[in-house]
A = this chain, B = another copy of it.
C-alpha cells in the first residue's frame, strides 16, 4: 500500500474538523505541511520516555499507544491512537515529554516537523483547534483514569470496546459494533490494568454478553446492552452535535 503525505494529511484535516470548524484557507495551510511517511512493525518505539523530539507523529494506519512503565517491568497503556490521531501533538508545546509512544501493530506513520506546526499556530483559529485537540486528549485520559480507579474488570473492558468503537466509526473505520482493533490480549491487558490471564477470563465473560474479540477484530452483538454494562456516555469524547444523549 502506497501512502502519500497528501493522503495522510487529509486524514488529519478530517480528524481536526470533527471538533473544530476550519476555513478553506486553514485546511489548505494544514495540507501544505511537510511530512515524511514511514512504515513500522509492531512494538516499534516512536518515542522513548524522556526523549526530546523536533517532530510530531500522526497515525496513518494501525494503532499507536502511549504508555508508562513501572520499575518491575509492568506496563500501563494510557492512550490508544487510531488513524487520523496526531499522537504527540503535545510535543509541540512540550518537546520533552515523559511518555513513551509505540506502534502496537504494524502501522504507517506520518512525521511532521515542529517548526512547521509552530508556524501554523500563528493562526489563532488553528491554535485553538490544536489546543482543543489536546483538551480532548485530556478528557479521554480522565475517563480512562476514572475507569481504572472505579470500575471492575468487566465494565472496564466493555468501556474500552465502546470507546474504540465510537472512535473508529467517527473516522470511518468500520462501525461501532464491528471494527478492527489490532491488539494482542497482553496489550489489551496493559490498557485496562489487568493481567493477561485475567483479561482472557474477562473476555470469556464478555463473550456471554455477545461481545467477541478475535485476532484483532471486535464484534458487538448489542451495542445498547454493552453501553449499559459499561456505563458508556460518549460526552467525554467532545464530539459536537451529539449532546450527552
B71 and A150 contact, CB distance less than 8 A: no
Most chain B beta-carbon neighbours within 10 Å: one of A122, A135, A149, A193 = A149
**How far, in whole Å, are A68 and B136 apart by their CA atoms in the complex?**
16
**How far, in whole Å, are A124 and B119 apart by their CA atoms in the complex?**
10
Within 8 A of B (CB), among A98-141: 98-99, 121-122, 124, 127-128, 130-132, 134-139, 141
A50 and B235 contact, CB distance less than 8 A: yes
A78 and B146 contact, CB distance less than 8 A: yes
Interface digits, A141-155 against B, CB 8 Å rule (1 contact, 0 not)?
111111011110000
Question: Which residue of the partner chain, among B127, B136, B142, contacts A131 with CB atoms under 8 Å?
Answer: B127
**How far, in whole Å, are A146 and B97 apart by their CA atoms in the complex?**
15
Task: List chain B residues, Cβ under 8 A from A90.
Answer: 135, 138-139
Q: Output the least CB separation between A23 and chain B (Å).
A: 16
Task: List chain B residues, Cβ under 8 A from A98.
Answer: 139, 143, 233, 235-236, 238, 244
Within 8 A of B (CB), among A42-99: 49-50, 66-68, 70-71, 74-76, 78-79, 90, 92-94, 96-99
A94 and B142 contact, CB distance less than 8 A: no
Closest to A194 in B: B149
Task: List chain B residues, Cβ under 8 A from A149.
Answer: 76, 78, 148, 192-193
Which A positions have Cβ atoms within 8 angstroms of B?
Answer: 19, 49-50, 66-68, 70-71, 74-76, 78-79, 90, 92-94, 96-99, 121-122, 124, 127-128, 130-132, 134-139, 141-146, 148-151, 192-193, 231, 233, 235-236, 238, 244
